[in-house]
Amino acid sequence: MSVISVVLGGFGASATRPEMLTSALIVGALSAAVLYYMVYSWKRRRMYALAAKIPGPTGLPVIGNVFDVVGDTEETVRKTMAQFRQYQPTYKYWLGPLLLVALTDPRDLEIVLNNYKYTDKSHFYNVFHPLGGQGVFNAAGDKWRRNRKIIAPAFNFNFLVQFVTIFHAMAMRLVGKMKARADGQSFDSYKLVELCTLDAIALTAMGVDVNAQDDDNSEWIRAIRRCFQITRERLVKPWLLPDATFYLTRDAKDQQKCLDIVNKFAHEVISRKKAEYRKAKAELDADPVASKAAAHEREQSRLRQDDDEDIGVRKKQTFLELLIERSESEDGCALTDVELRDEVVTLLIAGQDTTATDNCFNLLMLALHQDVQEAVHQELVDIMGEDPTTCPTYNDLNQMKHLERVIKETLRLYPSAPFIGRDLDHELDVTDYRLPAGCTVLLGLYGTHRLAEYWPEPDKFDPDRFLPERSVGRHPYAFVPFSGGPRNCVGQKYAMLQMKTILSTVIRHFQILPGKDCESMDKFRLQVDFSMTVAGGHNIRLVPRYAGLPERMRSL
Ligand code: HEM
């Protein structure tokens, strides 16, 4: 018997007692649900009223626009872009009871991002919590403020510049792998580049050579990549976003196993590095002259911390070693082993895929714009000479202005993080609307970067937009691939140094040509999980440039 017939028939003369009881229960439950919905809606009347003023696609009753974001991520990206084009710069949509407001106007981005009130990240970032725990990316409130203060000095040029030789060594490994693919056949550059950036971040964060480029099958590498994969899946399957549903799945158990491996490895490295630090310190303390000199160097180093010009004078250290040193020697900076682990794992997650995808998009842009590629190659030859194996100095990297413009223009068109989210717990006035309390704000960096008002012919690849004379007067929040304000990307200088080193090394060795299904920007099928990528691969072809060079220069 259907629910309706139970309800209608249940009150008829022929109804039995159990049927009447069932009917009464159903009617009671339905009435309670309707009453609950009415009270719930009444409480949210202000939200509905403010939301009604914001344009956006029409949704279905109760579930709203859920069908726009469920399913194939390529299709979701396609629909999101169409919505952006139709409603820009601000629009709303509903996912069930959740109101999302997409903001792309740079003035609105500034209002939200440049304000300490909105530094806590949206609830959907909970998918990142298993990896990176309460590290700087995930932490909120005072905990975030403290973490950020402790970690910030590690991202000063003065400290980062020592990593250039590591980036170059990893880039040369990549060139070695690419050499085997330089047969004119199309291949997905991401598969090689993501291992290169994993090697680079593991070495610079922990001082461990995981050598993913030669062996991507070790237990740790399999574990960390599986963790990335599970997080990606949660991001594109909305029903896995809440912990309540995710922790019922097999993936959650799998994630725990992999996390145990990743965390155990990190703890082993931390113990080893701490022991090394303490041993070196004990030896130093036993020698008063050396101890005084080290104290002087520490003080000088502290004074240099904010001076980006004064570089290359610190002794070589990894992020972890710097954090251990600060932890053990400075008031208020003591981090527990779990906190140290969370920071190190955070850097692995935040610094690997972002730079991998962006390096790959750069290779694609250079492949599609041969004139730009040749100009960049010429610039590299002018700065560093013909030998493609030379390691760039910091000054060399600084002079790579053309390459820098290419990287920025690529970040404009394909920002690794196309949007970021914040939850509003009170109303907020942006340029054209008052946003209701309780909504989630999506800051659409991708959309901002394509607003014609700020970027004429926005879909065109034109690195010269970033020439100083063409950048004058541009709104500071019109270009925000690394976000902005107090919670911006702490790793942006690292990212620029790493990408310049890897790209310049590859370009000096190979001419890059477009690969299968990547013959034009229109053909890219974009998808978003961890970062924005091309579904079907960042496919390129390579032609060695070193064929005409002396044998010494050809050895890779
Ligand atoms: C092309 C490369 C990169 C891009 C486009 C990028 C972009 C971003 C963006 C947009 C955010 C803000 C996220 C949010 O508020 O929701 C962010 C935060 C962050 N990024 Fe990056 N990132 C890149 C590379 C890196 C690297 C190489 C590292 C570290 C080595 C790093 C470490 C971080 C950290 C720790 C945060 C969190 C900062 C905080 O919450 O205070 N990023 N990044």
Per-residue pLDDT of the chain (556 residues; tens, 9 = 90+): 444 454 444 455 566 778 888 888 899 999 998 898 888 889 999 999 999 999 999 989 888 988 887 767 788 888 888 889 899 999 999 999 999 999 999 999 999 999 999 999 999 899 999 989 999 999 999 999 999 999 998 898 888 999 999 999 999 999 999 999 999 899 999 999 999 999 999 999 999 999 999 998 899 999 998 998 899 888 878 788 899 999 999 999 999 999 999 999 999 999 999 999 989 888 877 877 766 776 666 666 555 544 443 433 345 689 999 999 888 876 667 889 999 999 999 999 899 999 999 999 999 999 999 999 999 999 999 999 999 999 999 999 999 999 999 999 999 999 999 999 999 999 999 999 999 999 999 999 999 999 999 999 999 999 999 999 999 999 999 999 999 999 999 999 999 999 999 999 999 999 999 999 999 999 999 988 778 999 999 999 999 997 655 555 444 4
SS (H, E, C) 243-310: HHHHCCCHHHHHHHHHHHHHHHHHHHHHHHHHHHHHHHHHHHHCCHHHHHHHHHHHHHHHHHCCCCCC
Question: Measured in angstroms, how far is the CA atom of residue 115 from the centroid of ligand 1?
Answer: 18
Neighbours of 7 (CB within 10 A): 16
Tally helices (H) and strands (E) across the chain. Answer: 23, 11
Complex ipTM, two decimals? 0.99
Model confidence, pTM: 0.89
The Cα–Cα gap between 262 and 4 comes to 54
**262 CB within 6 A, ligand 1:** no
Q: What are the binding residues?
A: 489
Question: Measured in angstroms, how far is the CA atom of residue 413 from the centroid of ligand 1?
Answer: 17
Contact (CB, 8 A) for 423 and 117: no
**481 CB within 6 A, ligand 1:** yes
Atom of ligand 1 nearest to the CA of 480: 10
Q: Which residues contact 462 (CB under 8 A, 6 or more apart)?
A: 409
Query: 514 by DSSP, 3-state: which?
Result: strand
**148 CB within 6 A, ligand 1:** yes
Contact (CB, 8 A) for 433 and 99: no
**388 CB within 6 A, ligand 1:** no
Question: Measured in angstroms, how far is the CA atom of residue 322 from the centroid of ligand 1?
Answer: 19
Question: Measured in angstroms, how far is the CA atom of residue 483 from the centroid of ligand 1?
Answer: 8
Atom of ligand 1 nearest to the CA of 445: 10
**Residue 510 host element (H or E):** strand 510-514
Q: What are the binding residues for heme?
A: 489
**417 CB within 6 A, ligand 1:** yes
**Residue 471 host element (H or E):** helix 468-471
Beta strands in 39-97 (DSSP E): 90-95
